[in-house]
């Protein structure tokens, strides 16, 4: 069995280091000397580069070391994945664009035509991380007033139509959320590979929709046995519903030559987080079941970085250092590879990896960690916990 490894494009700027909280790459923090894309030239003038130039560098690094492509997340204050993918289509060669997308935001037929156009522009390098959860205040920020379970029904209908029109000239549909009479992609746009669908969402409504539509079920990292059980349950549940689900996990790594170096970076990063920032930890309100599963892992008052070590090489404070999930892997190159092997042994079929800064860490993880994979797989299924 071969495993697909993806990287991530940071769509909300990037830090110079896991130790610092400022966004020195992009324009999410005030422009200071040494900032990249945009930066200042030798005369102090704004240099004309924009954040897309840095994203191009990360995508090119990821494809150079053998990542299949990258997840391109979408939140209220990020750049947009569709536009990023279009902008970078012609300056990448093999990088596959995993667009995070909430189906409610687009007309399904128009979205299918956009997807087919991108397939044609990139030679079939498009795939989707379909997001339905979130919700709460953030959902109304986006202009979406649907209730949680309604949104899954809508996602399901959206994907029915998206698939229905893909290679058809005369497709009709009569759903609760969408109707369509005799539609289909034009002949010039037909025949492209249908984009792989990666699905997130941990609720029952999510799993039902996943069984029907998804190729991969994507989870944040959870403690390994818990995640293994979850993946087994997803595979069992979706099989019972008549689907087949591969499972994937999104995980950040701090991989260094030695374990001591890796934890030293974490310790420094943790010490740079103000007491106030730690109190704010938790973020925007959401009715996402996935977010709640992660929040439940959070030790209430961590005083030291190592209060947040939840298992060997597993640290629960990543969301203090940058946006996103709390849990991630910290260790030597060998340990990081072994932990990924552990996850494979627990049913993981694909990974979205990331590290900060995303450009340099794409090279590091690609060159130092990925080559060590599979060496200890048979010895380590239960060694970690």
Partner 1 sequence: MTLSVHWRLDPAAEPRRSEPGAWQRLPALARDRRVSTQNRFDYFLQVAQAAAQTAFDGLFVRHRIEADESRIIAAIIARAVPHIHVVPEFPASVGSAVYAAKQATTFQRAAHDRLGWAIAPDAEPAGREAQADFVSDGDLAQRLDEFLTVARGVHRERPFSFKGSYFEVENGGFDAPLNRASFPRVYLQGSGDAALALSGRHADMHLFAPASTEALAKDIARLNALADGRSVAAGLIQPLLVRDERQTAERDARDRPLAPGTLVASYDEAAEILAGFAAIGITELVLEATPTLEEAYRIGQHLLPRLRALTSAARQAA
CB 219 within 8 A of CB 248: yes
CB 34 within 8 A of CB 24: yes
Q: Which of 16, 22, 173, 268 binds partner 1 (CB under 8 A)?
A: 173
Phi then psi for residue 236, to 5 deg, are -65, -50
Q: Which of 6, 51, 95, 216 binds partner 1 (CB under 8 A)?
A: 51
Q: Which of 32, 66, 176, 191 binds partner 1 (CB under 8 A)?
A: 191
Token duo for residue 210: 């996943």
Token duo for residue 255: 């991989």
For residue 178, the minimal CB distance to partner 1 (Å) is 5
CB 78 within 8 A of CB 12: yes
**Cβ-based nearer residue to partner 1, 103 or 324:** 103
The interface region with partner 1, picked from 80-88, 256-264, 302-310, 330-338 by CB under 8 A, is 80-88
Cβ burial, residue 360 (10 Å; 0-12/13-18/19+): middle
Placement of tokens 């956009």 in the chain: 114
Residue 194 in contact with partner 1, rule: CB under 8 A: no
CB 25 within 8 A of CB 36: yes
Q: How far apart are CA 14 and CA 358, in angstroms?
A: 7
Q: Which of 32, 41, 66, 91 binds partner 1 (CB under 8 A)?
A: 91
Residue 161 in contact with partner 1, rule: CB under 8 A: yes
Residue 143 in contact with partner 1, rule: CB under 8 A: yes
CB 44 within 8 A of CB 61: no
Placement of tokens 């299949």 in the chain: 68
**Cβ-based nearer residue to partner 1, 155 or 219:** 155
**Cβ-based nearer residue to partner 1, 116 or 352:** 116
Q: Which of 21, 60, 117, 272 binds partner 1 (CB under 8 A)?
A: 117
Q: Which residues contact 338 (CB under 8 A, 6 or more apart)?
A: 372, 376, 380, 383, 384
**Cβ-based nearer residue to partner 1, 18 or 84:** 84
For residue 37, the minimal CB distance to partner 1 (Å) is 10
Touching partner 1, residues 30-49 (CB under 8 A): 48
Q: How far apart are CA 50 and CA 255, in angstroms?
A: 29
What residues line the site for partner 1 (CB under 8 A)? 26-28, 48, 50-52, 76-77, 79-80, 82-84, 86-91, 104-111, 113-114, 116-118, 120-121, 123, 137, 140-145, 161, 173, 178-184, 186, 188-189, 191
């Amino acid at each position: 069995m071969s495993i697909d490894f993806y990287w991530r494009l940071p769509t909300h700027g990037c830090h110079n280091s896991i130790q610092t909280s400022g966004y020195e790459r992009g324009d999410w923090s005030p422009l200071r000397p040494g900032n990249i894309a945009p930066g200042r030239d030798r005369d102090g003038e704004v240099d004309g580069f924009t954040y897309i130039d840095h994203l191009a560098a990360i995508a090119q690094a990821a494809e150079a070391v053998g990542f299949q492509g990258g997840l391109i997340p979408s939140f209220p204050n990020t750049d947009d994945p569709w536009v990023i993918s279009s902008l970078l289509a012609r300056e990448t060669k093999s990088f596959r664009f995993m667009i995070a997308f909430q189906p409610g935001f687009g007309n399904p037929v128009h979205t299918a035509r956009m997807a087919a156009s991108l397939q044609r522009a990139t030679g079939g390098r498009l795939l989707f991380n379909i997001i339905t959860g979130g919700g709460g205040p953030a959902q109304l920020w986006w202009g979406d007033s649907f209730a949680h379970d309604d949104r899954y029904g809508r996602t399901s209908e959206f994907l029915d139509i998206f698939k229905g029109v893909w290679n058809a000239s005369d497709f009709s549909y009569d759903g609760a959320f969408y109707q369509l009479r005799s539609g289909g992609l034009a002949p010039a746009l037909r025949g492209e590979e249908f984009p792989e669908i990666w699905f997130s969402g941990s609720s029952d409504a999510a799993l039902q929709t996943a069984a029907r539509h998804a190729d991969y079920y994507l989870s944040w990292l959870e403690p390994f046995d818990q995640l293994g059980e979850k993946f087994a349950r997803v595979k069992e549940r979706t099989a019972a519903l008549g689907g087949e689900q591969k499972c994937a996990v999104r995980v950040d790594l701090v991989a260094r030559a030695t374990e001591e170096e890796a934890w030293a970076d974490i310790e420094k990063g943790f010490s740079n987080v103000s007491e106030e920032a730690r109190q704010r930890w938790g973020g925007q309100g959401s009715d996402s079941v996935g977010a709640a599963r992660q929040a439940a892992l959070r030790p209430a008052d961590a005083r030291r970085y190592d209060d947040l070590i939840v298992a060997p090489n597993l640290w629960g404070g990543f969301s203090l250092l940058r946006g996103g999930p709390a849990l991630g892997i910290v260790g030597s190159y060998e340990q990081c590879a072994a932990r990924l092997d552990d996850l494979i042994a627990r049913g993981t079929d694909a990974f979205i990896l990331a590290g900060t800064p995303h450009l340099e860490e794409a090279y590091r993880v690609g060159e130092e960690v990925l080559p060590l994979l599979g060496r200890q797989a048979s010895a380590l299924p239960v060694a970690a916990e």
